[in-house]
Amino acid sequence: MTQAFDRPERLIAQASTTVARTWKATDVQTQVATRLVASPQDDAGEQQDIGRAVGNGVREMFVTCEPAEALGQQFDHLRPEFVTVHDLGTNQSRKLLTGIAAACSSPVQKLSVRRNGAGTELAVIEFVDVLASNGKPVRFYSTEVEADTVNRQAIARVLLGRSLLGIVMVAELPAHALASALAPWREAALRSGWRCARLLFMPLGPGAALPAEIGKFRNATSVNASATSRVTRPAEVWSQLGAAWNDLQRQRSNAPDSSAMPLLGTAATERAAATARAVHAAATPSPAEPGAAPAAATPARAVPGSAPAARDSRPAPLAATPSSHAPLPMPVIGALAPSHDAPLERYLHDLSHLVGVVSACAFDTTTGQAIGHAGARPGPDDLARHGTALLTALAGASRDMGLGAAVPDCSITFGQHHLLLRAMPAHPGLALHVVLDKAHASLGLVLAQMRRLDEALIDGYRAVT
């Protein structure tokens, strides 16, 4: 009889355990901020990727939390090895990705991060997959993300912090601006979750202050950070990047044959070079540059550490044509963009080198569009947008109080920074937004120096006309 009464109790207990387990599994699923969507490629045994392919080189990831947090969860789950290209006071990372894509015949793809349910797009991240010498893809991300300021900065920290190799393109910045630009990255590297094994800084200008600041960064964080020599051509960027990646792969692999590792191979380089030679030969019948080395004396350029190409399929040596100085058809790194307003560029450049100046932007007060920028972060879009909002509010207050509607000339002090807003001299309709480091800048001295720069700008326009 006892056993007969115990049996229903056991059945109830088993049913309760089953329900609890089912609910627990459902509960775990509801806590996941993102979801990995199965695809035919996954069934074929290919590596899982973030988000779901929706065509035209776009992947979508739906999230229930902030984009950076969701992206970090996916990286922690999948543990991919990738390269991240970041800008410090410049905007070359997306241009570099575009050049790499063109050189390797691989499209620039996008990861669209959307809010689950509403489908609102929160961020767009660009990346390129490059086939290595062993046939496996190596992914390159750019931290120049299409998102609001907070999300863009948070996603950049996740991308750089979770990458195997971080490439930082550094503009020519004075020591104080460089220290300010590196400060948030020092804090990020000290937080949990930072896994970047190697940070390589590539200066686009002379960068005299860069080695000392990187030394301070390395001592404070124990991150393997170093600087290359100044890079001025795409081939130099590719060579330094490839060498750093290959060194990391050698350190992380026990395979004695380096060509068996996932290195950045030479196939794409040679293919792009052959295409460049064919295009040049069709456009220019001249045989070679004056003084070029004979074809047999100069081997084709390759990424350091890559597998050698077969002799019978090697294209003609690069030095035999005028395209030998650019084996990859990437945009020139570090060169100034074509400008129709050289005096304004010189003015902003000189302004950014004043002691205490972190970032400076000239913008159109009507459209809110950035016209010129120099310095580090905040970038031109942020300075232009917020500068326009501040000027609109100040001008509105001035009109309401009957004080006129001229462009305000003002300074705003925060805890660690000063903001300067003023009309641009000799530029009707333009205004200037400057960020100063409060600890290094003397506000009165900077204003006096700016007045001298104003005079030099006006003299520059007189000389041009």
Q: What is the CATH number of the domain that holds 428?
A: 3.30.450.30
Per residue in 1-58, pLDDT (tens digit) is 444 445 555 655 565 555 445 444 433 333 444 444 444 444 444 457 898 999 888 9
d(CA 361, CA 433): 5
Residue 19: CB atoms within 10 A of its CB come to 10
Per residue in 325-359, pLDDT (tens digit) is 334 555 555 444 434 567 888 888 888 878 888 88
d(CA 321, CA 294): 10
Within a domain: 158 = yes
Give yes or no: residues 360 and 238 share one domain: no
Within a domain: 69 = yes
Average pLDDT of the residues in 293-306: 38
CB 196 within 8 A of CB 223: yes
Give yes or no: residues 246 and 364 share one domain: no
Per-residue b/e over 126-137, b at no fewer than 16 CB within 10 Å? bbbbbbbbeeeb
Question: Of 130, 169, 166, 136, nearest to 272 (Cα)?
Answer: 130
d(CA 166, CA 159): 9
Per residue in 166-217, pLDDT (tens digit) is 999 988 878 888 888 888 899 999 988 899 989 999 998 877 788 999 999 9
Examine the pLDDT at 113 and tell me if it is beyond 70. Answer: yes
Give yes or no: residues 241 and 364 share one domain: no
Within a domain: 327 = no
Phi, psi of 98 (to 5 degrees): -60, -40
* Terminal-residue alpha carbon distance, the chain: 111
Give yes or no: residues 365 and 246 share one domain: no
Within a domain: 302 = no
Number of independent structural domains in the chain: 2
**CA 184 to chain centroid:** 15
pLDDT reported for residue 18: 52
pLDDT reported for residue 9: 58
Examine the pLDDT at 296 and tell me if it is beyond 70. Answer: no
pLDDT reported for residue 41: 44
pLDDT reported for residue 255: 53
CB 418 within 8 A of CB 436: yes
Global confidence as pTM: 0.58
CB 106 within 8 A of CB 130: yes
3-class secondary structure, 152: helix
* CATH code for the domain of 180: 3.40.50
Within a domain: 297 = no
Give yes or no: residues 208 and 103 share one domain: yes
Task: Indicate the average pLDDT of the chain.
Answer: 74
Domain span at residue 414 reads: 342-464
- Residue 237 — pLDDT band, cuts 50, 70, 90? confident
Average pLDDT of the residues in 126-135: 85
Give yes or no: residues 235 and 359 share one domain: no
> Which of 205, 237, 252 is a domain's end point?
252
Within a domain: 445 = yes
pLDDT reported for residue 357: 85
Examine the pLDDT at 225 and tell me if it is beyond 90. Answer: yes
- Residue 299 — pLDDT band, cuts 50, 70, 90? very low
CB 110 within 8 A of CB 125: yes
Within a domain: 380 = yes
Identity of residue 182: L
Instruction: Express as a percent the part of the chain with pLDDT over 70.
Output: 70
Average pLDDT of the residues in 249-261: 59
> Which of 197, 227, 252 is a domain's end point?
252
Question: Of 293, 297, 296, nearest to 325 (Cα)?
Answer: 293
Q: Is the peptide bond before 299 cis (omega within 30 degrees of 0)?
A: no
Within a domain: 223 = yes
Give yes or no: residues 67 and 201 share one domain: yes
Give yes or no: residues 225 and 358 share one domain: no
pLDDT reported for residue 15: 54
Examine the pLDDT at 242 and tell me if it is beyond 80. Answer: yes
- Residue 319 — pLDDT band, cuts 50, 70, 90? very low
- Angle at CA of residue 181, ends 110 and 50, nearest 5°: 20
Give yes or no: residues 348 and 226 share one domain: no
C-alpha distances in angstroms, 371 versus 242, 431, 443? Answer: 35, 10, 24
Give yes or no: residues 189 and 56 share one domain: yes
Bridge partners for 362 per DSSP: 372, 432
> Which of 189, 221, 252 is a domain's end point?
252
Average pLDDT of the residues in 250-272: 53
d(CA 431, CA 380): 13
Give yes or no: residues 233 and 362 share one domain: no
Query: In the numeric block, which tokens belong to residue 246?
Result: 């290959």
- Angle at CA of residue 410, ends 406 and 412, nearest 5°: 145
Give yes or no: residues 358 and 240 share one domain: no
